[in-house]
A and B are shown apart, each in its own frame.
Chain A
């Protein structure tokens, strides 16, 4: 384990920078995790609803009041054209038409076709408001069945539902993970920085041509040399992963280990594997330490900016997002948002699988590129068979 030992020794000389980055990150991560949850979520979960009330009954009034508790309400009777423009420019706009006979038909236990709406198709806000209304009407129907008038049933339903927290109604997903979103969002930046800045110089030092020649004239096999180096890099990554992804959330934030948290861990694991590939590629391509800092900064800052690490995804321009889709951090952030129920992302298992798989594919692609670089190099100075 001579090679491994020295790998760790040289790595120790890079600990200062690694710890600095981690400390800054933890400060920012903990700060944003502690400050975002309620306020942040409230605004994310509120839509701007424009109501066209054609029924003008007690029941329609009750529905509008209920929605008004968590959304910005306004009245109006926009044309189709106006509605289209409205939702085009504002994804959180929701146009609700309460049809004539709403109260009457609800009293008859009918819920289909008594409302109409326009919103961005399949958007987060469409499902947010839609599910809220559905839940509300279904609950009210139960009260009507129990003999209440439509108006009474609606106000009782509102009361009953109010007891549940807002977060619960909107998305079951948000509960365990939402408070950690701010923390997990920053992981790509911190992992890219820490791994590139700490590991690349070490790998470079270990495999500098002169040193490598010297080592390969000794009785150690190249395979063993590679293995011990890989072990060195992996143990560092494992420690950082354990500390940042598991120990701090569980012990410092006291988060529950929910199914969502486990998905988030998996998401981070995929990103870590990508980082490992990237580190390998950079240390094979770059030969000077100052250049590593430069390239490390370009990659970590650049990828973080366009993939929504610093700026929430929803504020990013469409073309930026198109570019970002070719970067793994984007898919990492999509899954984080979906788990937290923010940025217009709705969680599904297939989305999680997709996001994680894409990150692994990036890792494999970079690894293949590294092998190609190594092969090309070796063609110049090969061992004889």
Chain B
């Protein structure tokens, strides 16, 4: 088994009466792209800030690289790269100067740093903007600068806290590809997001958070096989009567049926030919059928089952 890079044990963080992180335990291994998925306010950033010792916490243990993390654990911090949720760069410094500053907090040697900064610029595709002030950058470029500042010193563990918020799709893809590339080069990644598609796209393993708790943990496949709902079929069909609906409900593997404004949704716990069987049932009744779709479970399904809420991309 790969080495443990981060181990969080029963972390509790309160803000007065609000429990922002509630007995959270995680183990992250070397070489992983670990996702922390949860809606806004679920405690992702708080967890990251505790992990980095930027916040004090009420209970729990945090180990990184097998050592106890603390505000003064500089030997640990030097191998961590951080890309904060809020862009943290100096408005008065150019793109190059910003990257050089943050890189310089880790790498003292000038020649070595110059190389590292240039690598980071090339990696994030900021070559044409090195002399720009952050104000002049678009949202996507600004995020890329934020990333360049966090990774220039070539850390072993990189934490990305919602790095794609307010970013155009093109920049978003570039950022995600970049993260995978960093992982290929050997970095362990922690990636927080409230976009399930992103997490599905890049994470090897993830924890789903809600209200400060981890409500599910594992690989994406593991999470999906654990859900009750294995398939959701939606059919557009007008004027279904009670009789038909109860026949649909009685179909094998179907466990939940709903019919609203001409859309019939049936959820299945398993089985192979659910769509065919459903369509046959409807056709036998001479019901006119519109569009039909079948969805495999997504992380949203997982989230929905665990919390009763949708995890949708809302900003």
Residues of A within 8 A of B (CB): 2, 5-6, 9-10, 13, 205, 208, 210-211, 213-222, 381-385
Contacts and interface: CB of A to CB of B under 8 A. Distances in A.
A216 B69 CA distance: 13
Of A10, A205, A213, most buried by chain B (CB within 10 Å of CB) is: A213
A219 B93 contact: no
A216 B93 CA distance: 19
A221 B72 CA distance: 7
Nearest to A225: B105
B203 interface: no
Nearest to B52: A217
B101 A214 contact: no
18 contacts: A5-B101, A6-B97, A9-B93, A10-B93, A205-B91, A210-B88, A211-B89, A213-B88, A214-B84, A217-B80, A218-B82, A218-B105, A219-B78, A220-B74, A383-B54, A383-B71, A384-B70, A385-B56
Interface in B76-100: 77-78, 80, 82, 84, 86-93, 97
Contacts of A215: 105
A81 to B, nearest CB: 69
Nearest to B73: A219
Contacts of B29: none
Contacts of A382: 55-56
A6 B92 CA distance: 10
B101 A2 contact: yes
B57 to A, nearest CB: 6
A384 B78 contact: no
Interface string B142-179: 00000001000000000000000000000000000000
Given A13-B92, A215-B105, 12 more contacts: A2-B105, A10-B92, A210-B84, A210-B88, A216-B54, A216-B71, A217-B80, A218-B106, A219-B75, A219-B106, A382-B55, A385-B56
A202 to B, nearest CB: 8
A213 B91 CA distance: 16
Interface string B39-71: 000000000010011111100000000000011
Contacts of A219: 74-75, 77-78, 105-106
A301 B175 CA distance: 50
B301 to A, nearest CB: 35
A384 B71 contact: yes
B46 to A, nearest CB: 11
Contacts of B89: 211
A6 B88 CA distance: 15
Contacts, number: 80
Contacts of B74: 219-221
Contact of A6 (B54, B93, B106): B93
Given A10-B90, A10-B92, A211-B88, A383 B53 contact: yes
Contacts of A208: 88
A2 B103 CA distance: 9
A383 B56 contact: yes
Contacts of A6: 90, 93, 97, 101
B116 to A, nearest CB: 13
A383 B77 CA distance: 15
A211 B101 CA distance: 12
A210 B134 CA distance: 15
Given A383-B54, A384-B57, A205 B92 contact: yes
B77 A218 contact: yes
